[in-house]
Structure 1
Amino acid sequence: MEEKKKALKAAFPHTIPVLTGFIVLGAAYGILMTEAGYSWVWTVLTCTFVFAGSMQFVSVGMLSLGFHPISAVLMTLMVNARHLFYGISMLQKFNSAGKLKLYLIFSLCDETFSILCTAHPPAGVSYKWFMFFIAVLDHLYWIMGGLLGSVLGSFLTFNTKGIDFVLTALFVVIFINQWKATKNHLPVIVGVGASLICLILFGPSNFLIPAMIVILLLITLLKKPMEKEELL
């Protein structure tokens, strides 16, 4: 129990930016769900068992049009294809997590991935429990935000157009936070550069998967130079 308490205490400060973002972002999702006619129960259930961020925003419209399994699968694959690459890069870390591995895989969202890439527990703190509590806290923030939005949405009536922009805003905040937290900016430059080139070549609707492939290849090729830069 003491081991878990230490890990939770060490993990919480790293999740504060996600807390502030997910409360707002989750609330936006909850409001959209209420506007679409779904009660807070459905919002909490989707936040708990789907936990797919941007895909949940897309799913609001899909649910309103009726459920089509094949379309849902293809759309989810397109929107969340980046998680394939997240998972590959997390294999080594998650393999050491034992029984916690399955939950870590399920809860690997963009924000949790970003934290796990740079955050390290202090001496004497279990790394697997440190990762677990980062994932759990981020998950809970999302559920809390969704519930808050559902409650507010049932009392307030206003134009929700553009409210999902908070997702983009959160990514920008996390990007800035990670830039400041690390000295080695080569991975960021590679990621941004590859994304821009693929955006130009493939267009806004088709650039994501090619960009992820290019980023993965470049990161693999530049692994040693990046590690040397980090040590300087």
Structure 2
Amino acid sequence: MKEIRSQTSQTEDVGRDDIFSKVLGNDKIGRVRMYGFGVTPYVAWGEIPNRSSAYRLIEGYKEAFEKMEKQVQEQGEVIAKMKLDMQSTQQATTSTPVRTTQHSQNGDVHSFNNNAHIQVGTKVAIKSVIDSTKTVAIGYIQSMDPTHRVGNYPLGPNWCSVHINIPVTWEEHLIRPYSTLTTIGQAIGTYVAWPQAFVVREDD
């Protein structure tokens, strides 16, 4: 045992194949030498998986890895779509003419691209920035003040805050996600920031 220990650079832990076992041989089934009555190899060292259990273990790891890989891929697709939405919004707000009337000091009255007077409390439909003919939600104007904050960020010019009452396209991604809110379906009953160019009056 001393000779074997002198040949190892590190002190080995006590285990199934430690120096003691290398010199005196493996323990017999049902007992572990020097550990007293009733201690079995399974209790002392744990189970050695057989071929079938090892295969199941590997398959379990493989399944978990594939699931994690799929989640990463889905998150990448969501991020890519969000970037595309942001780019489309920037293009829309810079290239789409937005009709505005002279508004009050707190910015609560505007005339949007549908030529209809819209103010705080007006029922509106918000449109998809990918397809402006597609309504993604119905709600009410909460604020059009550029300094008003949604998710700790000010709206800025040509944006408004809309309270979502009826989600139409639940899976539509928010242009400005915040907190745990990333889709229209998750934002029901709360507020989202949306470009004025994609908000139209919703007549009852």
Regarding TM over 0.5, the answer is no
> Is the radius of gyration larger for structure 1 or structure 2?
2
Shorter-normalised TM range: under 0.3
Which structure is higher in strand share? Answer: 2
TM-score (norm 1): 0.22
Q: Which is bigger in relative contact order (C-alpha 8 A, separation at least 6)?
A: 1
TM-score (norm 2): 0.24
Which structure is higher in helix share? Answer: 1
